[in-house]
């Protein structure tokens, strides 16, 4: 007796390998920026440390605040405002200086450090282009550091204002304190100043430092400064002129428009202030950004072909 078997042909096994989801350029840029914070903790540690030291001194000085406030209330309106705003302006200057120092040393090490410790071999194995990497590093001094500085400054100034108000509750002067500290105007002025002058206007310096960081094998800080000094000296000796030094000084000072574009001279509506219009239309801003683009393009090319040290 034969048994008929219904043989069902087995379907060929199909390997269903799902392709990895494509990561958008914006996500790659965001993760590249986050990587900079993982590797360079000084980006936020340095301003926080400077703020902590300032607050320690400010807390000690609160014991003399009632006397200072009584003396300020006897002054005219302009001198009264200057006296009350002095510690708040000092905090702004302190964090601006800290931001500038951190930005310079960050740019010097941004592309040089990954070649020195050979971590560039790992980062190049990831699906992140050289363009994305360099643009992420350039965004740190141009955008991220100014925003961090503004955030820390504004929070600290509000803490100072509240602590001062508590100290002055028993002796009066709280209304005078708040009247002379328009916090929104100060915050907007600081934001526009840092993004405009310390970000966009200083962009050629940051681009140059990133280019040197991608090129130099050692002594990056020397390669960043010595060629500039050499060009100025050669021009002075050969032609008895100092145009190159004048251009550098003009760029570093922020120019006439950038020098006037300071937080303490902002109007009540900073977005309509004439200094902002002059700054955007400034003849020195856009050539500087064009030079920055050239420096960043050269840094991208160097990173693509430069080997670890």
The string of pLDDT tens digits covering residues 81-128 is 888 888 998 999 999 999 999 999 999 998 888 888 888 778 778 788
pLDDT, residue 189, reads 84
pLDDT, residue 182, reads 86
With a CB cutoff of 8 Å and minimum separation 6, the contacts of 191 are: 146, 150
pLDDT, residue 258, reads 54
Q: Which one is predicted more confidently, 156 or 11?
A: 156
Indicate if the pLDDT at residue 276 is higher than 90. Answer: no
Sorting pLDDT into bands at 50, 70 and 90, what band is 55? very high
Q: How many CB atoms lie within 10 A of CB 16?
A: 5
Question: Domain residue spans in the chain?
Answer: 27-32+40-305
**Mean of the per-residue pLDDT values for the chain?**
82
Give me the percent of the chain exceeding a pLDDT of 70. 84
What average pLDDT does this structure show over 189-194? Answer: 86
* Lowest mean per-residue pLDDT among 50-54, 162-166, 251-255, 270-274: 270-274
What average pLDDT does this structure show over 58-75? Answer: 85
Quote the Cα angle for 99-100-104, to 5°: 115
What average pLDDT does this structure show over 150-174? Answer: 88
Q: Which one is predicted more confidently, 14 or 78?
A: 78
pLDDT, residue 277, reads 66
Are the CB atoms for 285 and 196 separated by under 8 Å?
no
Indicate if the pLDDT at residue 237 is higher than 60. Answer: yes
What average pLDDT does this structure show over 128-148? Answer: 91
DSSP state of 218: S
Indicate if the pLDDT at residue 266 is higher than 70. Answer: no
Distance, in Å, from the CA atom of 79 to the CA atom of 69, rounded to the nearest integer, reads 12
Q: Which one is predicted more confidently, 295 or 123?
A: 295
Indicate if the pLDDT at residue 253 is higher than 50. Answer: yes
Distance, in Å, from the CA atom of 213 to the CA atom of 224, rounded to the nearest integer, reads 8
Indicate if the pLDDT at residue 9 is higher than 90. Answer: no
Sorting pLDDT into bands at 50, 70 and 90, what band is 257? low
| Top mean-pLDDT range of 2-6, 231-235, 268-272 | 231-235
pLDDT, residue 21, reads 59
Q: Which of 21, 215, 203 is nearest to 112 (CA)?
A: 215
Task: Label residue 230 exposed, middle or buried (CB < 10 Å: 0-12, 13-18, 19+).
Answer: exposed
Q: Which one is predicted more confidently, 208 or 267?
A: 208
Q: What is the pTM (predicted TM-score) of this model? A: 0.82
The string of pLDDT tens digits covering residues 31-50 is 888 888 888 899 999 999 99
What average pLDDT does this structure show over 289-294? Answer: 93
Q: What sign has the CA pseudo-torsion 101, 107, 108, 113?
A: positive
pLDDT, residue 203, reads 92
pLDDT, residue 275, reads 61
């Amino acid at each position: 007796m034969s048994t008929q078997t219904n043989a069902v042909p087995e379907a060929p096994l199909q390997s269903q390998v799902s392709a990895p989801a494509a990561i958008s350029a914006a996500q790659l840029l965001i993760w590249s920026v986050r990587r900079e914070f993982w590797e360079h903790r000084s980006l936020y540690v340095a301003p926080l440390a400077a703020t902590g030291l300032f607050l320690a001194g400010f807390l000690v000085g609160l014991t003399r605040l009632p006397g200072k406030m009584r003396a300020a209330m006897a002054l005219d309106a302009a001198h009264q405002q200057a006296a009350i705003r002095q510690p708040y302006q000092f905090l702004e200057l302190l964090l601006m200086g800290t931001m500038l120092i951190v930005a310079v040393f960050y740019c010097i090490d941004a592309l040089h450090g990954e070649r020195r410790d050979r971590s560039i071999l790992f980062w190049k194995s990831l699906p992140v282009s050289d363009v994305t990497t360099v643009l992420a590093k350039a965004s740190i001094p141009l955008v991220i550091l100014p925003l961090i500085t503004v955030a820390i400054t504004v929070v600290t100034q509000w803490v100072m204002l509240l602590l001062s108000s508590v100290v002055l509750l028993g002796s009066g002067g709280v209304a005078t304190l708040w009247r002379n500290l328009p916090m929104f105007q100060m915050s907007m002025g600081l934001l526009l100043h840092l993004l405009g002058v310390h970000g966009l206007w200083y962009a050629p310096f940051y681009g140059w430092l990133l280019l040197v960081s991608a090129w130099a094998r050692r002594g990056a800080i020397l390669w960043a400064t010595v060629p500039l000094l050499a060009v100025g000296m050669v021009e002075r000796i050969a032609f008895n002129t100092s145009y190159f030094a004048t251009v550098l000084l003009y760029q570093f000072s922020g120019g006439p428009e950038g020098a006037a574009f300071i937080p303490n001279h902002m109007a009540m509506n900073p977005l309509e202030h004439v200094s902002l219009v002059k700054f955007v239309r400034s003849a020195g801003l856009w050539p500087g950004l064009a030079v920055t683009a050239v420096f960043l393009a050269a840094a991208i090319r160097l990173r693509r072909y430069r080997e670890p040290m």
